[in-house]
Chains A and B, each alone.
Chain A
Amino acid sequence: MSGHVSPKTTYYAIFGALMVLTAITVTIAFINLGPLNFPVALGIAILKATLVILFFMHVKYSSQLTKLICGTAFFFLFVLFGLTLSDYLSRGWFVAPGGTAAAGTRVTIGPPAPIAEPAGQTETDTEPQTAPER
């Protein structure tokens, strides 16, 4: 069998790196970075997953075909998240006249904005209704 045998020290080093990254992400969870908390935590998770895939799952030493198959998983995941969020996150960017911003527009934490009451609606509506009675 021609499988690549990594030295034990590689596995211990990767484990150490994963532990350090876990400690960093837990520490950052207690620091308010505003909108940056999410991308930082996600970035560290992606880094950890990459280490596991490359070294524990031996993709670094695998054939080009295996690497391609592994890559397709993340490509389609990107399509799933990217296309869906490009709709929901962009709904509030442009509001057509008479249109409304959907619920997906609020991405920051804060109290909801009060909805303005439509003014002068009832008076104009009553006039045409009274006209046929005369």
Chain B
Amino acid sequence: MPEIAAAHADPGAHAHHPALQHHFQTLEQQQEASTLGMWIFLVTEVMFFGGLLMAYLLYRVWYPLAWSEGSLELDIRLGGFNTVVLIGSSLTMALAVRSAQTGAQKATVRWLLLTMALGLTFLVVKFFEYREKYLLHHIPGPNFQFEGPEAAHVQIFLSLYFGLTGLHALHMVVGFCILAVITWMAHRRRFSPEWYTPVELSGLYWHFVDIVWIFLFPLLYLVDRAHHLS
């Protein structure tokens, strides 16, 4: 505490960017440390989804027929539409980071708002997909109904479908909330070409969520569909 008080008493100690923390020497060093920390977090996220994907792969090896039947239950048009929406939101997010880098503050807010709008579109489409499953009694549990010899195993497929897409949707909601805060900060002109780390890091998170969907879409909607065509 005395050191901090001394540092604050020293007028020369504040001759730097207000965002620079005292334990870093330069903003570059601080940005590098923040980015590295975010990437380590993303590695844990990869392993988090990796566990569920491992369960998906294993049950797919065991019950290929059920996987084929189950993936036909998913709407390829809605899934494809959501893929375009989410990759589009990744583009707008990348452009938001670029605007923050170049100091275009109004453009940063606009791109961030567009990213949030696309994220919300994804979640709304997902809601209608879930709603259709609910109406058809395709939600695993005591009320599960499915016609066919593989019904019990299709239930496992749909459990993994809801587990994987549900966890992904949860990440979308979290990302949406983060972007809301970042947009507010950008609106208050908190970022500059010298310091835009929060925009950069929330961008990394948003792109990660996009990558998860890039794998979920073919695995759940596409790969086992063609086996019904002879």
A residues at B contact (CB < 8 Å): 1-3, 5-6, 8, 11-12, 14-15, 18-19, 22, 25-26, 28-33, 37-38, 41-42, 44-45, 48-49, 52-53, 55-58, 62-63, 65-66, 69-70, 72-74, 76-77, 80-81, 84-85, 88-89, 103-104, 106-109
Contact = CB atoms under 8 A, between A and B. Distances in A.
A44 B215 CA distance: 9
* B interface SS class: helix
A109 B65 contact: yes
Given A11-B94, A49-B215, 18 more contacts: A1-B193, A1-B194, A1-B196, A19-B84, A33-B226, A41-B223, A45-B217, A45-B219, A49-B214, A56-B90, A56-B210, A57-B207, A63-B32, A66-B32, A77-B47, A85-B61, A106-B64, A109-B65
Given A8-B98, A11-B95, A89-B61, A41 B43 contact: no
B36 A69 contact: yes
Most buried by B among A3, A8, A15, A37: A3
Interface of B: 27-28, 31-32, 35-36, 39-40, 42-43, 46-47, 50-51, 53-54, 57-58, 61-62, 64-65, 68, 76, 80, 83-84, 87-88, 90-91, 93-95, 98, 101-102, 193-196, 200, 203-204, 207-208, 210-211, 214-215, 217-219, 221-227, 229-230
22 contacts: A5-B98, A11-B98, A15-B88, A15-B91, A22-B83, A22-B87, A26-B222, A31-B226, A31-B229, A32-B226, A37-B224, A42-B218, A45-B214, A45-B218, A49-B215, A57-B203, A70-B42, A76-B46, A76-B47, A89-B61, A103-B62, A109-B227
